[in-house]
Structure 1
Amino acid sequence: MFSGAQISLYPMTDDFVDVITSALNALDPYRAQLRIETDDISTLLVGPPEVLFPAMRDLFSAAARSDKHCVLSATISRGCPGEPNDAICNSSHFDGPVVPFLERQTAALTAVQNATDMGVFSVAQLSLYVLGQGNHMDEICGCIDFLKQSGTFEKSKHFATKLSGDSGALFATVEQAFCRFGPPQGHVTIDLTVSANSPSAR
């Protein structure tokens, strides 16, 4: 299995460099468990989802605590047939056969309820893509049912679902969508945008 995310962090402020470089310290606890590659467009994080999503959560939350409008854009993928297996990505999330929707949804809801409270209110929109499967819409609809019960659901949008709440619950919701819907060894991707401190909300 190969899993990871291409992420870009955008603080909407003249001192964006300071906000980004300060927030990068939040990745320090995860560096030994991730492969991190940065260029002038984005940063690639490769690793298991139980490390990947807390790392993104902590990075974004650290930036948002600047009280500046911050946006995280991410393309998250697992099981891409064009990528080699990578031992750093090994995760129990992807072991075993597909279990019934109700069991997956219940486990996902429990994980969100137990999410770490980060003290950062955020909004997000995500789109889940289950690729190469004839029953992809069943998996997407099952995920949407989970999202609507997650406590972070705000509304359905064209091509996306909008979430809002503490960033801990938001990233836990996205992690569960990523891990529990689509076959365990299948190709699944998420397009994610997360925002905090937007002046539009005021």
Structure 2
Amino acid sequence: MFSGAQISLYPMTGDFVGVIMSALGALDPYRDQLRIETDDISTLLVGPPEVLFPAMRDLFVATAASGIHCVLSAAISRGCPGEPDDAICASPQLNGPREPIEQRKDAAFAAIAGAPHTGSTIAAQFSLYVMGEGDHMDEIYGCIDFVKRSGVFDRSKNFCTRLGGDAGPVFAALEAAFCKFGPPEGHVTIDLTVSANSPTPR
């Protein structure tokens, strides 16, 4: 299995380099559990979902703590047939047979209930793609039902779903969407945009 994310961070300030460099310390607790590669467009984080999503959460929360408007854009993928297996990505969430979808929803709700609260309010929009044929739409509809009852659902939008609330439960919901829907060894992707401190009124 291969799982990871290509992320780009955008602080809306002239001192964007300083804000990003200050926020990078939030990744320190995760560095021995992730493979991290950076170029001039994005940073690749490779590792298991239970490390990947908290790392993205903490990086974004550290950036948002500056008080300036900031955005995180991420392309998140697991099980891509074009990527080699990587031992660092081994995860108990992606092993074994697929449980019935209602049982997976219950596990997803429990993950949100147990998520830490960060004190950082964020907005996010995401699209889930379960690749393949067969019951992939059943998996997507199951995820939509979960998200609408997750406590962080804001509204449906064209091509995506908007979430809002504390960063802890929001990222927990995203991790659950990524792990609990679609075959454990299947190819699943998420297109994600997260925003904080936006000056745009709702």
TM surpasses 0.5 = yes
Matches within 5 A, 1:124-139: 124-139=124-139
- Structure 1: which 5+ residue stretches go unaligned? none
- For 2:200, what is the secondary structure of its paired residue? helix
Q: Does 1:79 align with 2:79?
A: yes
Match of 1:44 in 2: 44
Provide the rounded CA distance (Å) in 1 between the counterparts of 2:141 and 2:132: 16
- For 1:22, what is the secondary structure of its paired residue? helix
Deviation track 1:156-198 (CA, whole Å, cap 9, x = no partner) reads: 1111000000011111110000000000000000000000000
TM-score normalized by the length of structure 2: 0.99
Matches within 5 A, 1:136-155: 136-155=136-155
Which stretches of structure 1, 4 residues or longer, exceed 6 Å deviation after superposition? none
Count of aligned pairs: 202
Give the C-alpha shift of residue 119 in structure 1.
0.5
- Structure 2: which 5+ residue stretches go unaligned? none
Q: Does 1:166 align with 2:166?
A: yes
Match of 1:104 in 2: 104
Matches within 5 A, 1:18-37: 18-37=18-37
- For 1:184, what is the secondary structure of its paired residue? coil
Q: Which amino acid aligns with 2:195?
A: S
Alignment RMSD:
0.7
Provide the rounded CA distance (Å) in 2 between the counterparts of 1:160 and 1:133: 21
Deviation track 1:79-102 (CA, whole Å, cap 9, x = no partner) reads: 000000000000001111111111
Match of 1:94 in 2: 94
**Identical aligned pairs, as a percentage?**
70
